[in-house]
Structure 1
Amino acid sequence: MSRHADAAPHSTGTPDRHPGKDTEDARTAVTVFVALGANLVIALAKLAGGLFAGSPALLSEAAHSVADSLNELFLLASLKRSNRAPDSRHPFGYGKERYFWSLLAAVGIFVMGGCFSFFQGIEALRSDHSETRTGYLVGLAVLAVALVAECSSLIRALVQVRGQARGSGRSMREAVRAADDPALRTVLAEDSTACFGVLVAMAGMGLHMITGEVRWEAWASMIIGALLVFVAYQLAKESRGQIIGEAADPALRRALRRFLEEQPEIDTVTTLLTMRLGTRSTLVAARTDLVGGLDSEEVEEVLVRLKSAIRAQWPIADQVFLDVTDASPNDRERARRERRQLDETVAAGREEPGTRQQEDAE
């Protein structure tokens, strides 16, 4: 049998459009706009209240809201730029733009939110500031309004996640963990952190007012800073892995491998490699050993049919490469070992973020 290596992907050269994904992107954009509007109003209110009350915790929360507002602009840019059509310089499209801008958002949270909060807390410990009762009440009132606004934005994001959970048959917790869109994941992290941070700031300011000890607000400010640093690290870690190149989730990889192994023309799938190119695009590259007796035209027909079938069943797998090779005994043993490991991973429920990726794309 003559062997043929096919290196051409199954791609149209235009953006991979999925009506479901486009609708979800529009919902995410609305969620981000809601968060942006809330954060801009809250930032101004916190800044004015913090300057009036001389509250380090309130000023830390103002810095947090400013950082969140800038991050929302980054996320809006990511939604627009990631949908550009492939070109000669970026033949696989611009899907990873979302991961890059999400990384910048994480850096913004770390620098403008976390570091400034630590600075405010340390400065408060060095001073012996005391405010009038009116100043404290103004600060607490501003924080109460901020809490309502932040919770409203968080509820909007959770409603979107709940809709995704219903569509994929998952619980809310599973949907939050599997959030594939970095923009939505960042908004969720920002809003939930902001709600908790406001409560910490209110506690610190209230204790300062009751005891007269500024250290309560100082520690509240540093707790907010530590929380923001942790959230920024987690978001940056996710974005880093996605920019470098992450494999598709185990459930999708197992489904693709099983599909190929079930084909009568394939004897062994020696290697299956995947990489997420964005929220709606995944590269699939497989080396297969075909059964004997096929001529070159039959091999070509099999490869074309399999690529079309993969693309039809898993629209997110829009870049498909199939290579025909002779499998050695070592290749076959490695393939069996990888298959067992993949089955164990899926069975144990250790799916990476983005599990059921193929379901969400359909």
Structure 2
Amino acid sequence: MAQTAPRTESVGTVVVAGAANLAIAVAKLIAGLLSGSAAMLSEAAHSVADTTTEVLLYAALRRGARPADPRHPFGYGKESYVWAFLAALFTFVAGAGFAITHGVTTILVHEHSGNYLVSYVVLAISFAIESVSLARAVRQVRRESRRWRTTPHRFLRMTADTTVKAVFLEDSAALIGLLLAALGVGLSELTGDELYDGVASILIGVLLLVVAGILAHSNTSLLVGRAVPKRMRHEIEHELVGLPTVHRIDTLLTMQLGPDDILVAAKVDFADDATGADIEAAADEAERRLTGRYPEIRYVFLDPTRSLPGVTGHARHIQDPDQPPPPPPDPDRTPPPP
């Protein structure tokens, strides 16, 4: 149940954002055609891209939530990142490409037809609707950051739920884009120079490029196989070291299998007098502790192993993506005595 609630909330956030973007896209397109504003047409393309993105994110949530089967024993969590990556790619190609191209054309041609009033009305209505969608995304981000005992900024940077991250960034970019469009249209009306309208369109395209780049990088990292955040990894290590009969952790590896699925694998050096029954009990206790603390942990694998001679301390190798890998062993160095 703890895993279903965040996923259900993410679906609701995506649906609200998609419905808002669809209504706004139609309004902006009509305003752009009536006013002839490049910035308004770019904003229409922006909203069309966002609407398509929400459809892809909805597919990501639904297909990624399918249960494991014999062909996919770890489930379909990573498929959600494939669809989310496609959503970022569509924003990059369709939204940003159209906005920048149309802005450049407007600057070169310097033509404008129609009145400006309809643009201002649609921009104001769009800003109000986008604010409602962003407010829902912000509430989810704050709620999830409290659940993970971190700041909203860090949650957005580290979360494996790229759908809520995408909605938050896209809605934020949409509000900024609306302000840019209003500024471009207003300056063009005041000066009679369509340069400002075209520049606003290009800036909207650049804004979309930035958002698409951030989301594409995040989804690529998760597709490759990203570890859990450092603090969570240290807490997992602490729980394992605290198990009865556990002497030390030689290797601890983690991976995000999906937004709500985490794999933990460790090579564990048990006490020399630990029996097979002790090791089995420790493995059961490890799974109980870790899943109790983090319901997102679905798989816990412990591999009993003997530590290397002369190695002391709690951990010989703990996965840490923020640190460089250890240097390779020196073949000329004399190994420690047995």
TM-score, structure 1 length as denominator? Answer: 0.83
Q: Which residue of structure 2 lines up, in the alignment, with residue 61 of structure 1?
A: 43
Within 1, Cα distance between the matches of 2:47 and 2:116? 20
Contact 2:250–2:317 (CA under 8 A) maintained in structure 1 = no
Is 1:189 aligned to residue 169 of structure 2?
A: yes
Q: Superposition pairs for residues 327-338 of structure 1, below 5 Å?
A: 327-329=307-309, 332=312, 335=315, 338=318
Within 1, Cα distance between the matches of 2:126 and 2:16? 14
Q: Which residue of structure 1 lines up, in the alignment, with residue 6 of structure 2?
A: 24
Specify the code of the residue in structure 2 equivalent to 1:235.
L
Does the C-alpha gap of structure 1 residues 320 and 168 become closer, same or farther in structure 2, counting only changes over 3 Å? closer
Is 1:125 aligned to residue 119 of structure 2?
A: no
CA shift, 1:232, in A, is: 0.4
CA shift, 1:169, in A, is: 5.0
CA shift, 1:223, in A, is: 0.5
Specify the code of the residue in structure 1 equivalent to 2:161.
D
Is 1:110 aligned to residue 89 of structure 2?
A: no
- Structure of higher RCO (CA pairs closer than 8 Å, 6+ residues apart): 1
Specify the code of the residue in structure 2 equivalent to 1:237.
H
Name the stretch that deviates more: 288-297 or 324-333: 324-333
Q: Which residue of structure 1 lines up, in the alignment, with residue 331 of structure 2?
A: none
Specify the code of the residue in structure 1 equivalent to 2:236.
L
Does the C-alpha gap of structure 1 residues 245 and 65 become closer, same or farther in structure 2, counting only changes over 3 Å? same
Within 1, Cα distance between the matches of 2:235 and 2:83? 31
Is 1:281 aligned to residue 261 of structure 2?
A: yes
Is 1:79 aligned to residue 61 of structure 2?
A: yes
Does the C-alpha gap of structure 1 residues 218 and 243 become closer, same or farther in structure 2, counting only changes over 3 Å? same
Name the stretch that deviates more: 249-258 or 300-309: 300-309
Partner SS, residue 116 of structure 2: helix
Aligned residue among 132, 141, 161 for 1:152: 132
Structure 1, residues 144-181: CA drift from partner, whole Å, max 9, x if none?
21111111211121122233345455554444445442
Is 1:227 aligned to residue 210 of structure 2?
A: no
Is 1:247 aligned to residue 254 of structure 2?
A: no
Within 2, Cα distance between the matches of 1:83 and 1:137? 46
TM-score, structure 2 length as denominator? Answer: 0.88
CA shift, 1:254, in A, is: 0.7
- What value does the CA root-mean-square deviation take over the aligned residues? 2.3
Q: Which residue of structure 2 lines up, in the alignment, with residue 323 of structure 1?
A: 303
Aligned residue among 55, 70, 74 for 1:88: 70
Within 1, Cα distance between the matches of 2:157 and 2:301? 30
Partner SS, residue 20 of structure 2: helix
Contact 2:252–2:318 (CA under 8 A) maintained in structure 1 = no
Runs of at least 5 residues in structure 1 that lack an aligned partner in the other structure: 1-18, 346-362
Within 2, Cα distance between the matches of 1:296 and 1:40? 60
Sequence identity, in percent? 37
Does the C-alpha gap of structure 1 residues 310 and 153 become closer, same or farther in structure 2, counting only changes over 3 Å? closer
Partner SS, residue 86 of structure 1: coil
Partner SS, residue 276 of structure 1: strand
CA shift, 1:283, in A, is: 0.6
Within 1, Cα distance between the matches of 2:318 and 2:142? 34
Contact 2:239–2:286 (CA under 8 A) maintained in structure 1 = no
Does the C-alpha gap of structure 1 residues 131 and 335 become closer, same or farther in structure 2, counting only changes over 3 Å? same
Within 2, Cα distance between the matches of 1:51 and 1:131? 9
Name the stretch that deviates more: 23-32 or 36-45: 23-32
Specify the code of the residue in structure 1 equivalent to 2:208.
L
Runs of at least 5 residues in structure 2 that lack an aligned partner in the other structure: 324-338
Within 1, Cα distance between the matches of 2:33 and 2:19? 22
Is 1:262 aligned to residue 242 of structure 2?
A: yes
Within 1, Cα distance between the matches of 2:268 and 2:211? 42
CA shift, 1:214, in A, is: 1.0
